[in-house]
Structure 1
Amino acid sequence: MPTNDEDLLVITHFYPAALRILTCVVAVCSAVAATLLGTAPPPEGLKVLDPADLRTTAVILTMALGVVAPVAMMIVDPLKCLLLKACVFTASAMGNALMLSPLLVVPFQETPTAMAVVCSIAVTLASIVTFMESIERRNARRRANT
């Protein structure tokens, strides 16, 4: 029966592959959701906000936070800048979650948006666990050298 330490090592061991796979899922799902929103008519029933501007802003934010930023994090070495990756994927999850607003959502958009949110949260958690594991390894090496 594996212990918690062995579970952490498994997450750290598979983190680079999981990062690539989940980043691709986030980018594709975000792009699909942004495309669906961009091709839909502007939302109706808004009194204060301009519907076309709201839709355009949502599409741009989704492309920036859901596609460009995660793909940029994939370019960096998988085991470097782990806290930055956690922050970027948290922002990606929040940006995609905002797309689920009843004012913005269009048919067929909910599924790719929800998948992007879940995958972004998974990468965030994996990045934090991997970061904590690297700190633990560094502290263990420091204790062994002392």
Structure 2
Amino acid sequence: MITHFYPAALRIITCVVAVCSAVSATLLGTAPPPESLKVLDPVDLRTTAVVLTMALGVVAPVTLLIADPLRCLLLKAGVFAASGFGNAMMLSPLLVVPFQETSTMIAVICSLTLTIGSIITYMESVERKNARRRATT
């Protein structure tokens, strides 16, 4: 059943993940660097967080839209899991800035939703293949 709605959900929710990740990275990039760090360089930490969020939260999910929605489902699940965890990194009390928490949380929830949806769609496709194979033998 989820296989029927997966392609549309993939497009819509991927756009939500990309937009929320971009908003989160922009808010963090324009904020002053954290001052409470003693060991790490605050500017380097902020720059690394912004680059990782753009790479894992925007670029990687959008590139998955190029392929057929029902192909490479395990790869899509892995990319969306990485996107979710990359965005979750932005919720650290050392990095978070006002108004960023909401967009980051939406991106994390949507990424994990697509991870679970990709795994379920993959399991349904394997089950369908097994049913066809049993029917022919």
Q: TM-score, normalised by structure 1?
A: 0.93
Give the 3-state SS of the residue equivalent to 2:33 in structure 1: coil
Q: Which residue of structure 1 lines up, in the alignment, with residue 69 of structure 2? A: 78
Q: Which residue of structure 2 lines up, in the alignment, with residue 109 of structure 1? A: 100
> Using the alignment, how far apart are the partners of 1:76 and 1:114 within structure 2?
27
**Displacement after TM superposition at 1:62 (Å):** 0.1
Match of 2:84 among 83, 90, 93: 93
What percentage of residue pairs aligned between the two structures are identical?
Answer: 78
Task: Extract unaligned runs of 5+ from structure 1.
Answer: 1-8
**Displacement after TM superposition at 1:75 (Å):** 1.0
Please tell me whether residue 28 in structure 1 is matched to residue 19 in structure 2: yes
Q: Which runs of 4+ in 1 moved over 2 A?
A: none
1:34-83 CA-to-partner distances (Å, cap 9, x unmatched) read 00000000001100000000000000000000000000111110000000
> Using the alignment, how far apart are the partners of 1:128 and 1:145 within structure 2?
26
Count, aligned residues: 137
> Using the alignment, how far apart are the partners of 1:71 and 1:103 within structure 2?
28
Task: Extract unaligned runs of 5+ from structure 2.
Answer: none
Match of 1:40 among 22, 28, 31: 31
Q: Which residue of structure 2 lines up, in the alignment, with residue 68 of structure 1? A: 59
> Using the alignment, how far apart are the partners of 2:79 and 2:67 within structure 1?
13
> Using the alignment, how far apart are the partners of 2:42 and 2:67 within structure 1?
37
Q: TM-score, normalised by structure 2?
A: 0.99
> Using the alignment, how far apart are the partners of 1:74 and 1:94 within structure 2?
20
Match of 2:113 among 108, 113, 122: 122
> Using the alignment, how far apart are the partners of 2:103 and 2:4 within structure 1?
28
